[in-house]
Amino acid sequence: MKIKSLKVNTKQKKYSIYFNNNLTNEINKILDKERFKFEKCLIVYDSKIKRNFVEKLLKRIKSPKKYSLRLISSETNKNFKNVNLIIKYLLKEKFSRNDCVISLGGGIVGDLSSFAASIFKRGIKFINIPTTLLAQVDASIGGKTGINDKVYGKNLIGTFYQPDLVLIDINFLKTLNYRELICGYAEIFKHSLISSKKNFLYLDKFIKKILLLKKSYLTRAVIESCKIKKEIVEKDEREKNLRQVLNLGHTFGHAYEAACNYTKNLNHGEAVILGIKTAVKFSFKKKYLNKIAYNKIMMHIKKINFKLSVNKIFKKKDINKILGFMLNDKKNVSSKINLVLLKGIGSPIINKPFHSNEIKKFFLKELINL
Ligand code: GLY
């Protein structure tokens, strides 16, 4: 079977994203095809990945010296201590810039190991093998690397460092639970809303099949989503303007997550869906979005079988806290809150500034129905 791939053309690097169904069998074929060579490689892997899978993968890779490092992927572990752990490993084993770090895991392991790869000897080769839906359609593409600060917040320290190769195997998704799957689906859904009505209609028609992991439907949804992300990243690699469109639902979503203290009550993807819901409602209230499009999007969210709502999680007294987090968003450059809104399905409005009082009024009026 022909292996599907996409090419990403950024100023920093040109690289391929491969979509396959049997990574361990195909990895060498892909590395040969890409003429990708290294003497040493270090697989940094998520502790959720079975050790025998890592060993199987290591066996298949032809490089002479192969190492692995297991990380427990929690937001609290996305820190300098673990970056240092990776860097010290590379130093101890005398890795050169031509050797390779391979991330095998979700967004946390990917962000952390790509950050380490970007600063080790000013940049070592980096392959990303994302194993969650969120990492496959979002975090692994576009070169954002980063770690958190315990006091000041998430992803505040990082670099733009494009990978040299991304390998996406849909089979990894079989082990995800529904909440983890929804996390990734939130980004697929968002990509369609900001860029392609055709994609949205596809998702809307086949949502059940996609979420039941029916291979052909899921593969298409993943590939189309990656295409949208890659096109945005190619046009604006360093998030000067267009790339900010990927923030749809995230300004609200990040604030919801933070207001819940990043507890398991509300995971990132759930916060993003709630954030998208809020941004869509705000777009409708401001008359940017018409009733038909608004209803279509809301109906789609119902089909995801998404039971959470802002009014179930927050009380009126939480509004100031939420607004405080929104004002602190690292993407705001003034005292106003920049929002990505929609004027249609596939038609975004990038970074419209609103005074926090206006958003507060909206929350006060709408909290009941959000
Ligand atoms: N996840 C948003 C971005 O890569 O810009």
Per-residue pLDDT, averaged over 291-319, amounts to 92
User: How many whole angstroms from 331 Cα to the centroid of ligand 1?
Assistant: 12
* Fold of the 189-367 domain: Dehydroquinate synthase-like, alpha domain (1.20.1090)
State how far the Cα of 201 lies from the Cα of 345, in Å rounded to an integer: 10
Report whether 14 contacts 163 (CB < 8 A): no
Question: What is the SS3 assignment for 13?
Answer: coil
Q: What is the pLDDT of residue 234?
A: 98
Cβ–ligand 1 contact at 268 (below 6 Å): no
User: How many whole angstroms from 245 Cα to the centroid of ligand 1?
Assistant: 9
Q: Is pLDDT above 80 for 2?
A: no
Average pLDDT, the chain: 94
Residue 240, judged by CB atoms within 10 A of its CB (0-12, 13-18, 19+), counts as: exposed
Name the pLDDT band for 151 (thresholds 50, 70, 90): confident
Q: Is pLDDT above 60 for 12?
A: yes
Ligand 1 nearest-atom number relative to CA 244: 5
Return the residue matching tokens 């009014």. 311
Which of the pair, 325 or 130, is modelled with greater confidence?
Answer: 130
Smallest CA-to-CA distance from 161 within 10, 317, 315 is with 10
The model's pLDDT over 249-263, given as tens digits with 9 standing for 90+, comes to 999 999 999 899 888
Q: What is the pLDDT of residue 81?
A: 97
Smallest CA-to-CA distance from 344 within 286, 290, 299, 295 is with 290
The model's pLDDT over 94-111, given as tens digits with 9 standing for 90+, comes to 999 999 999 999 999 999
Q: Which CATH class is domain 4-175?
A: alpha beta
> What tokens does 159 get?
């670099």
Smallest CA-to-CA distance from 348 within 258, 214, 244 is with 244
Per-residue pLDDT, averaged over 268-292, amounts to 95
64 Cβ partners below 8 Å, 6+ apart? 39, 40
Q: What is the pLDDT of residue 300?
A: 96
User: How many whole angstroms from 62 Cα to the centroid of ligand 1?
Assistant: 33
240 Cβ partners below 8 Å, 6+ apart? none
Per-residue pLDDT, averaged over 265-293, amounts to 94
Cβ–ligand 1 contact at 250 (below 6 Å): no
Q: For ligand 1, atom 2, name the residue with the nearest CA.
A: 246
Q: Is pLDDT above 90 for 141?
A: yes
Q: Which of 54-63, 117-126, 200-209, 301-310 has the lowest mean pLDDT?
A: 301-310
Q: Is pLDDT above 90 for 316?
A: no
Sheet with 125-130: list strands edge to edge. Answer: 4-9, 14-20, 165-169, 125-130, 100-105, 40-46, 65-71
**High-pLDDT (> 90) share of the chain, %:** 82
Q: Which of 11-25, 76-90, 99-113 has the lowest mean pLDDT?
A: 11-25
Return the residue matching tokens 């996409």. 6
Per-residue pLDDT, averaged over 240-249, amounts to 96
Question: To test ligand 1's pocket by mutation, which of 239, 272, 329 has the most ligand atoms within 8 angstroms of CB?
Answer: 239
Cβ–ligand 1 contact at 144 (below 6 Å): yes
Q: What is the pLDDT of residue 49?
A: 96
Cβ–ligand 1 contact at 142 (below 6 Å): yes
Instruction: Spell out the domain ranges in the chain.
Output: 4-175, 189-367
